[in-house]
Amino acid sequence: MNALPVTIRWPRSPADARPLALWTAAEIAAATGGVASGDFQLSGVETDSRDVRSGDLFVALKGDAMDGHAFLDKAFANGAAAALVDRPIARPHVLVADTSLALAQLAAAARARASARIVGVTGSVGKTGVKEAIFAALERSSRGAAHRSVRSYNNHVGVPLSLARMPARSAYGVFEMGMNHAGEIAALTTQVRPHVAVITTIAPAHIENLGSEAAIADAKAEIFAGLEPGGTAVIPADSPHFARLRDAALACGARVLSFGSSPDADVRLLDAIPVANGGSLVTAVLEDRQLCYSVAEPGAHWVANSLAVMAAVHAARGDLGAAGLALAEMGGLKGRGARLRVAVPGGHALMIDESYNANPASMRATLAQLGQTPASRRVVVLGSMRELGEFGPAFHAQLADPIAAAGVDFAVLVGEEMAALARELGKPQVAALGKPAGFVHCDGPGEAIAALEEFGLNSGDAVLVKGSNSVGLGRVVAHFAAREG
C-alpha cells in the first residue's frame, strides 16, 4: 500500500504555515525593543552557557553573584548563534538595556503569538511528574506539536525561559510553576496565562515560609488568577483544602474539574489494581464515560496523579486514549522515581531515585510504595526535608511509623534535621512495634555512601534514596548507578 496519498490528506492546521525558526533577529528586537547587530535565525534559547547548543540564543543574565556576560566566549564556543546582551559585543547579538527584562518580554511575545492550548501545573507534590505525563499525552495526540518546561524550570527565570522556547507552531504548552513564598505563583501565572490550571496536591512543603497548610493552599491557588477567560481549574477532590481551592477558582471565574476518590469528584477513581510490573490498572469515571488504563509508575500517589492528568487532558481538549498510552509507557524521571538496576554480589539490587525533592507527604507516599515493592531486604537513604522551620523536628520524627510499616531493614539518615528521626527510631517503644530497623545517622552523602557500602547490598534488595535536593543524595545514586547493569 502506498502511504503517500494518506500523508498528503493528513489534516493541516494554520500553525503549519508558520516559520520553522524559533526566533529571528528582527522578532527578538521587536519583542524586546532592542537593536540587532544583523540578520540571523535561532533554534533555541538558553541562559546557561554549559547547556548551549548549536543555533541557540544565549541570554546573558545578570544576578547577584554572577554575570552571564562573563560566559559569552563559552556560549559561542558551544554553538550559540547570537546573544542577548546589555553591552555591544563583536559577535551576533541583540542589544537591550536589561537582559532579565528582555527575557520576560521575549516570553510575553512567545505567549502572545501562540494559538496553543496552555496548561499550567503546580502543587506541593508531584507537579513535575504530572507535567511530564500531560506533555507526553498531548505530544502523542498532536503529532509532536506539544511544548513543555524541561526539568524543574518553574521559577522566575525558568518560566519565562520555557515560554521563550515555545515554537509558534505549538498546539499545546505545558508549564510548571513553583514557589517558596506567597505571591510568587501569581507573578508566574500572569506570564503563562493558562487555559487549564492544575493543582496536584497540598502538603506542608515550604511551610517554614508560609506558616500553615491553609496558607500553602492559598499560595498555590494563585495559579487561577492567570487563567484565560473560560479556563478550567483542576483540583484534588480528596484534599482537606478542596473547598478553599474551589472557592478561589470560582472567584477567578474558572470552571472547576475535580479528581480523586471522593464520590463527588468529576474524575472519580473506581478501582486501582496493582499489576506485575509495579504499576496499576486504573478504572475511573469522567463525566459520562468510563476510563480504563494502565499506569506504569508504581504507588497510590501515581494513581491519583493519573486522575489529574486525565482531567487536564480532557480540559485541554486532548485525546484521552493518548493519555492512557502515555501513562502506560512513562518511566520514572531522574531524581523523581527512576528505577535503576544496580550490580551487587550475586546479581542486582533495585535503587529508586527520589533524590531531587522531599516533604512529609512525598516521604510517606514513597515509603508506602517501597513497602509494596517485592524485595529480600528494604533499605532507605533518607535526607533532611528542608524549609519546614519549627515544624521540622515533628515531621521528621513522624517518619518512624511509615518506616516501620514499609518493613525497612536498614535506614541511612542524612543531615542535621534527621536527628529527630534517629532519636525516634532509637526509642524502645518504636522497636516494640515490630522488627526494629537498623539505622545510622550521617552528616552528608559521602558518609551515606560509606554506610551503604559497609552494610553491603545484596541481590534482591530494594533501596529508596530520597531527600531534599540540597542534601545532595544524587551523589549516592550516581555512585551506585555506575554499577548499573
CATH number at residue 37: 3.40.1390.10
Range list of H helices, 61-157 = 72-77, 99-113, 127-141
| Residues 409, 281 share a domain | no
Mean per-residue pLDDT, 96-110: 98
Nearest 5°: the CA angle 336, 339, 342 is: 130
Mean per-residue pLDDT, 157-174: 97
Q: Which of 158-167, 225-234, 263-272, 296-305 has the lowest mean pLDDT?
A: 296-305
Q: Which of 156-165, 250-259, 366-375 has the lowest mean pLDDT?
A: 366-375
| Residues 94, 166 share a domain | no
Q: Is the pLDDT of residue 356 over 90?
A: no
Chain centroid, CA 340 distance in Å: 19
Q: Is the pLDDT of residue 61 over 90?
A: yes
Whole-number Å distance between alpha carbons of 48 and 68: 8
Instruction: Please state, for a pLDDT cut of 90, what percent of the chain lies above it.
Output: 78
Give Cβ neighbours of residue 305 (< 8 Å, ≥ 6 apart). 126, 129, 130, 133, 200, 297
Q: Which of 10-19, 98-107, 262-271, 306-315 has the lowest mean pLDDT?
A: 10-19
- pLDDT one-digit tens code per residue, 178-200: 998 999 999 999 999 999 999 99
129, part of any domain: yes
CATH number, domain of 440, equals 3.90.190.20
Whole-number Å distance between alpha carbons of 58 and 73: 11
- Considering 280, 305, 329, which residue would you say is the last residue of a domain? 329
Label residue 431 by pLDDT band (50, 70, 90): very low
| Residues 472, 398 share a domain | yes
Q: What is the pLDDT of residue 338?
A: 86
- pLDDT one-digit tens code per residue, 13-33: 665 555 668 999 999 999 999
Q: What is the pLDDT of residue 11?
A: 61
Label residue 151 by pLDDT band (50, 70, 90): confident
13, part of any domain: no
Whole-number Å distance between alpha carbons of 71 and 50: 9
Q: Which of 83-97, 102-116, 123-137, 328-342 has the lowest mean pLDDT?
A: 328-342
| Residues 200, 262 share a domain | yes
Number of Cα atoms under 13 Å in the Cβ half of residue 33: 8
Q: Is 183 left (phi over 0), alpha (psi -120 to 50) or beta?
A: left
Query: Running DSSP on this structure, what letter comes out for residue 62?
Result: B
Mean per-residue pLDDT, 303-328: 97
| Residues 343, 315 share a domain | no
108, part of any domain: no
Query: Running DSSP on this structure, what letter comes out for residue 123?
Result: -
- Considering 305, 329, 353, which residue would you say is the last residue of a domain? 329
Label residue 65 by pLDDT band (50, 70, 90): confident
| Residues 416, 276 share a domain | no
Contact 188, 108 (CB under 8 A): no
| Residues 317, 228 share a domain | yes
Q: Which of 275-279, 315-319, 461-465 has the lowest mean pLDDT?
A: 275-279
Q: What is the pLDDT of residue 117?
A: 98
- Considering 98, 131, 165, which residue would you say is the last residue of a domain? 98
Q: What is the pLDDT of residue 16?
A: 58
Q: Is the pLDDT of residue 5 over 90?
A: no
Contact 167, 44 (CB under 8 A): no
State the sign of the Cα–Cα–Cα–Cα dihedral 417, 421, 422, 423. positive
Tell me which amino acid residue 449 is: I
Q: What is the pLDDT of residue 6?
A: 54
Pair type for strands 196-199 and 172-176: unpaired
Give Cβ neighbours of residue 450 (< 8 Å, ≥ 6 apart). none
| Residues 279, 173 share a domain | yes
pLDDT mean across residues, the chain:
92
Residue 75's domain spans which residues? 21-98
| Residues 374, 424 share a domain | yes
Q: What is the pLDDT of residue 63?
A: 86
306, part of any domain: yes
| Residues 200, 71 share a domain | no
Label residue 432 by pLDDT band (50, 70, 90): very low
Nearest 5°: the CA angle 55, 59, 61 is: 160
How many structural domains does the chain have?
3
Q: What is the pLDDT of residue 55?
A: 97
- DSSP SS3 for 378: strand
| Residues 208, 134 share a domain | yes
197, part of any domain: yes
440, part of any domain: yes
| Residues 71, 131 share a domain | no
Q: What is the pLDDT of residue 206?
A: 67
418, part of any domain: yes
